[in-house]
């Protein structure tokens, strides 16, 4: 933990936007950033980056995470004596079972959440601070896709491979784009194919490529608004130091105030970007306004 705390002091954004801030790096998404993002729309093509919410999702049913349960609560329901009929349904699901954002209340250490709020503000009723509903205005910015798998000439980056800042910069150069303040960075590894094509849930969840701990300083320096990948945890698993579980989560969420997006389906978007060489787009991914929630399911959209 000493290494983590040393790095935390370098990248901390606590107090940067005031003592009551609960949205962290989303403060970088200014009206100017949104206008820049809107200018990325040239063709009008829309790509969904979300996995389906159904019983065939990636979850194994462990640690409280299961795939969604969809039930019909009304079939051929009636109102009055006429011909009016209706259908209704319900979904039972963890908020983080498929494509999703982590809120800034999701992980912590030393008894403190992002911006110094005490972890005791999370109770059985939910998160009183840094909850996902604080992002109610939505997440609309310029998205930038860095395709590490394509850069390395592979279908999939191997499980357990840590992506380094130099790899992200090489992907920038290959794409002819630079990640800037307020951008949402999407990193494609191709690992989603382990679930989508191989149908290997265990392999998809248990060993993944991902960002190494050195990327945290890079993300902090570039002032990105959020980062998302096609893996279950954004960061590499197994983690680089076996004694330090999920350090990218701890540093990004708790110290930087940087929201992580997981299990994004980036394959179709990446193919389109590769065809015309344009790797930037309007990105929109508003979370559900779940009061006190520590995550939210998503259907993120990229508009080119």
Whether residue 1 has pLDDT greater than 90: no
User: What's this model's pTM, rounded to 2 decimal places?
Assistant: 0.95
Per-residue pLDDT band at 242 (split at 50, 70, 90): very high
Report percent pLDDT > 90 for the chain. Answer: 95
Average pLDDT, the chain: 96
| Cβ proximity of 304 and 281 under 8 Å | yes
Max Cα-Cα span within the chain: 71
Nearest-5° Cα angle at 185, 181 to 191? 165
Residues 58-111 have pLDDT tens digits of: 999 988 899 999 999 999 999 988 899 999 999 999 999 999 999 999 999 999
DSSP state at residue 53: -
Whole-angstrom distance, CA of residue 171 vs CA of residue 189: 12
Q: Report yes or no: 175 and 274 within 8 Å, Cβ to Cβ.
A: no
d(CA 219, CA 236): 16
Give Cβ neighbours of residue 257 (< 8 Å, ≥ 6 apart): 13, 14, 16, 21, 23, 24, 25, 104, 114, 115
Segment 181-195 shows an average pLDDT of: 98
* The pLDDT value given to residue 279: 98
**What sections of the chain are H helices per DSSP?**
2-11, 31-38, 148-151, 165-175, 193-196, 201-206, 215-222, 247-249, 267-276
Q: What is the pLDDT of residues 25-45, one digit of tens each?
A: 999 999 999 999 999 999 999
Q: Is the pLDDT of residue 136 over 90?
A: no
Question: Residue 76's CB: how many other CB atoms inside 10 A?
Answer: 7
Report pLDDT for 177.
Answer: 97
Report the pLDDT averaged over residues 212-238: 98
Superfamily of domain 2-64+93-303: Putative cyclase (3.50.30.50)
Question: Which of the two residues, 138 and 85, has the higher pLDDT score?
Answer: 85
Domain positions in the chain are 2-64+93-303
Instruction: Please tell me the predicted confidence (pLDDT) of residue 137.
Output: 84
Tens of pLDDT, residues 244-256: 999 999 999 999 9
What tens digit of pLDDT does each residue of 288-298 get? 999 999 999 99
Round to whole Å and give the CA distance between 159 and 147: 16
Q: Is the pLDDT confidence value at 188 over 90? A: yes
């Amino acid at each position: 933990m000493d290494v983590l705390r040393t790095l935390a002091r370098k990248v901390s954004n606590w107090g940067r936007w005031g003592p009551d801030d609960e949205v962290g790096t989303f403060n970088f998404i200014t009206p100017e950033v949104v206008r820049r993002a809107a200018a990325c729309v040239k063709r009008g093509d829309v790509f969904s980056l979300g996995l389906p919410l159904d019983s065939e999702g990636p979850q194994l049913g462990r640690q409280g995470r299961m795939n969604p349960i969809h039930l019909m609560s009304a079939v051929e329901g009636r109102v009055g004596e006429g011909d009016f009929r209706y259908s209704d349904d319900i979904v039972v699901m963890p908020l983080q079972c498929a494509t999703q954002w982590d809120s800034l209340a999701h992980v912590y250490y030393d008894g403190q959440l992002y911006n110094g709020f005490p972890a005791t503000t999370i109770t059985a009723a939910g998160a009183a601070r840094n909850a996902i509903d604080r992002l109610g205005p939505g997440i609309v910015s310029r998205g930038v896709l860095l395709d590490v798998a394509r850069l390395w000439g592979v279908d999939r980056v191997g499980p357990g491979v840590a992506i380094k800042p130099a790899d992200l910069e090489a992907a920038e150069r290959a794409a002819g784009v630079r990640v800037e303040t307020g951008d949402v960075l999407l990193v494609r590894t191709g690992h989603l194919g382990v679930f989508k094509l191989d149908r290997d849930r265990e392999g998809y969840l248990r060993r993944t490529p991902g960002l190494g701990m050195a990327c945290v300083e890079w993300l902090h320096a570039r002032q990105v608004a959020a980062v998302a990948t096609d893996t279950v945890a954004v960061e590499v698993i197994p983690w680089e130091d076996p004694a330090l579980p999920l350090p990218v989560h701890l540093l990004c969420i708790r110290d930087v105030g940087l929201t992580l997006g997981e299990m994004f389906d980036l394959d179709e978007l990446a193919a389109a970007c590769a065809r015309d060489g344009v790797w930037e787009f309007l990105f929109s991914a508003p979370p559900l306004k779940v009061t006190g929630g520590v995550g939210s399911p998503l259907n993120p959209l990229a508009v080119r």
